[in-house]
Structure 1
Amino acid sequence: MQDIATRVWNHKWKIDPIVRSLIDTDFYKLLMCQSVFRNHPDTQVTFSLINRSDHVPLARLIDEGELREQLDHVRSLSLARGESTWLRGNTFYGKRQMFRPDFMEWFENLALPPYDLRRVGDQYTLTFEGAWPEVMLWEIPALAILMELRSRATLADMGRFELQVLYARAMTRVWEKVERLRNLPDLRLADFGTRRRHSFLWQDWCVQALREGLGKNFAGTSNCLIAKNRDLEAIGTNAHELPMVYSALADGDAALARAPYDVLADWHEEHEGNLRIILPDTYGTPGFLARAPDWLAGWTGIRIDSGDPAEGAEAAIAWWESRGEDPATKLIIFSDGLDVELIETLHTRFRGRVRLSFGWGTLLTNDFRGLAPEDGLAPFSLVCKAVAAEGRPTVKLSDNPRKAMGPEREVARYKRVFGVGAQEALEVVV
């Protein structure tokens, strides 16, 4: 196990590239990439960095030269032979050869496309443009780089003993959370913390702590590189990116209304079992469920990623019951802003009513709140989203209007098409 504090002190991170591999990414990105490669290989998209926490002045904290150095390093990466063998030959979700030969051949020859980085005041604008399958793979490494460079900037002036105490306190905090989670019977929890982690080494440490502390109740990690290196299950399904781009490509309101279901129809052809998880909140969960075709009710479960999680779970249970399905056989995955208290509350309320799983993200892999001067390591909300497809803007409404994005006129149109009325604005924690 790495002595993280000593490693930081000895060389101030210079030896460690932030992103070590093209599979230092979330599993769902590779699953979605294969689907996009099959169905929309030539679609041109634009991804852009969005700092929801604009009180964090990234351009004042992070040196532009260092940022470019790390981004350029990612562009130099290619899939290693052992990584390719793992993807080609491993069993994921009980399925051999999850990744098709044509996709793997493309991935093995991939170098990520160019980026455009500019400073605007105290923030950076960072955009990626090109073919969808290539550009989408920038999202996770871009976020990981910016989050870790911000961590490095805060740590740079700390002394050796200060670093030792900092990491000792952070480790104690994680372990105290693990000890609480041990008390939850039949818990199923996975690491979802790649995109806004404190650092790669810290995420790897957290995963090892969960593995030892929770045993069989730890389901695995979304990070492919850590899953490979630690012989763990790679966890993930799909994300908002798919319906956002499909919807942007839709011609007319009728096609727009169908787009979120067209996404899942394509997914249905490729996957089965626990990969058939609905993410209903892109344009509002109530309307999505009300208009959903009957075949979707037969899917394995639903992931709840915005809004009040308990309300979302109750809505899912009621929907399954209205479609003649037994909720006790269905899976609900909670993945929005989780920490121990919320996991405990949701587990207590829904255990026995549905099958439960928790995707624990930023407050697992980046909970340094209160541990650095001026709270300089506190997590913040940074995303990298598809903002355009074939020149058309994308829109996300969410079940929390504070997570909505898109031009005001298009947001109004999407609300009309999807029947989204008043929504409760909730704090975006991370």
Structure 2
Amino acid sequence: MIQSILDNDLYKFTMQQAVHMLYPRAHARYEFINRGLTPFPDGFAEKVELKLEKMADLKLSLDQKTFLEKSCYFLTPVYLDYLESYRYDPGEVMIKQDKDILILKITGPWYRTILWEVPIMAIISETFFKMTCQKTATALERRAINLNKAKVLAANGVKFADFGTRRRYSAGNHKGLIQDLLSRENHTLIGTSNVHFAFLFNIKPIGTFAHEWFMFHAALHGYQMANPSAQDAWVKVFHGDLGIALTDTYTTDVFLSTFDTFHAKLFDGVRQDSGDSFAFVDKIIQHYKRLHIDPSAKTIVFSDNLDVEKAVKIHQY
């Protein structure tokens, strides 16, 4: 299910470097929240636990390290040496099942436990689909769907990145999707958040930071200082690289209240991950204008539950 140590989203590695550099003594606890109240079948936790134990064998290969050195220039030699020695410790994960309820917690040093979230979510998703025998399209049907998505997005000039690891049907399906997208001439796929598939297909790994970066800084400095302190810490590590700021951890309005001229000029753009995408565009444009910044020189990345139709409408707007 998990193909390699790189079968994870890029922002987990970028944040791990930042944590390793700035907060090596911080401890964290993650807890699985079943937002859809999905009932899990008998024996589900045991199946997942077996997959997690196998992850202890994963390690960074020389070819993978070379790829990261070339494609992720913002990752330091010190961090890459650390990642080369890193091994998942299944002892950091507690998983059990109470009837159809899954209980899962991850506890330990933040610089270590930060890598667990995405692959665990991918394992939960794939295990669920396998155990419940949910029907899916045939290989030919999936390819037709994938190629049509690529066709529509390209015809409308929509540049997009794959960000599907944590909710994928399976690792094989995920790989097939990217293969299909890349097979179309003049596709507009600019990369993937999944570093394993970026390595496999020699495409750009995409990502910056996640909500947990802001959540940690809220715990450290208080909620009022969470956004600016998180951005300032990020800049200390990456010096202007990876400059797409996440806006919605404590609502966009709260984020913008401290997204001053300094930060707005320093960061290349922002990411919208909740709320009304169209209202967000208007709000961000007006905010840049108030700061006397040309909005057309900035970028908005949209990542909130997109499908092809919605992506096209947002792009046209």
TM range (shorter): over 0.9
Higher helix share: 2
Give the counterpart of 1:151 among 108, 112, 129: 129
Taking structure 2 as the reference length, the TM-score comes to 0.93
Matched, 1:182 2:147: no
CA distance 1:181–1:61, shift in 2 (3 Å): farther
Matched, 1:327 2:295: yes
AA aligned to 1:184 is N
Give the counterpart of 1:110 among 74, 82, 86: 86
AA aligned to 1:34 is Q
1:135 is displaced (CA, Å) by 0.6
Matched, 1:57 2:29: no
CA separation in 2, counterparts of 1:285 and 1:327?
17
AA aligned to 1:346 is I
1:257-406 to structure 2, matched below 5 A, reads 257-271=224-238, 275-298=242-265, 299-349=267-317
Unaligned runs of 5+ in 1: 1-17, 350-430
CA separation in 1, counterparts of 2:263 and 2:185?
33
Give the counterpart of 1:123 among 101, 107, 112: 101
Give the counterpart of 1:99 among 56, 68, 75: 75
Kept in 2: contact 1:128–1:135 (CA 8 A): yes
CA distance 1:206–1:178, shift in 2 (3 Å): same
1:258 is displaced (CA, Å) by 1.2
Kept in 2: contact 1:286–1:315 (CA 8 A): no
Q: Matched residues, percent identical? A: 29
DSSP 3-state at the match of 1:195? helix
Kept in 1: contact 2:227–2:258 (CA 8 A): no
1:44 is displaced (CA, Å) by 0.8
AA aligned to 2:311 is I
CA separation in 2, counterparts of 1:99 and 1:116?
30
Kept in 1: contact 2:260–2:291 (CA 8 A): no
DSSP 3-state at the match of 1:137? coil
**Paired position in structure 2 for 1:80:** 61
CA separation in 2, counterparts of 1:136 and 1:155?
31
Hey, which bits of structure 1, 4+ residues long, moved more than 4 A?
Answer: none
CA distance 1:192–1:318, shift in 2 (3 Å): same
DSSP 3-state at the match of 2:29? strand
AA aligned to 1:119 is Q
1:297 is displaced (CA, Å) by 1.2
Give the counterpart of 2:70 among 65, 90, 105: 90
Q: Residues 288-346 of structure 1: CA distance to partner in whole angstroms, max 9, x if unpaired? A: 11232321110210000001111112111111111010011110000010001101110
Give the counterpart of 1:71 among 41, 52, 64: 52
Select the structure of larger CA radius of gyration.
1
AA aligned to 2:233 is D
Unaligned runs of 5+ in 2: none
CA separation in 1, counterparts of 2:298 and 2:228?
20
Q: Residues 204-238 of structure 1: CA distance to partner in whole angstroms, max 9, x if unpaired? A: 11112222236352101111011011110111111
Taking structure 1 as the reference length, the TM-score comes to 0.70
AA aligned to 2:295 is P
Kept in 2: contact 1:147–1:197 (CA 8 A): yes
Q: Residues 60-82 of structure 1: CA distance to partner in whole angstroms, max 9, x if unpaired? A: 16633321110101122222222
AA aligned to 1:327 is P
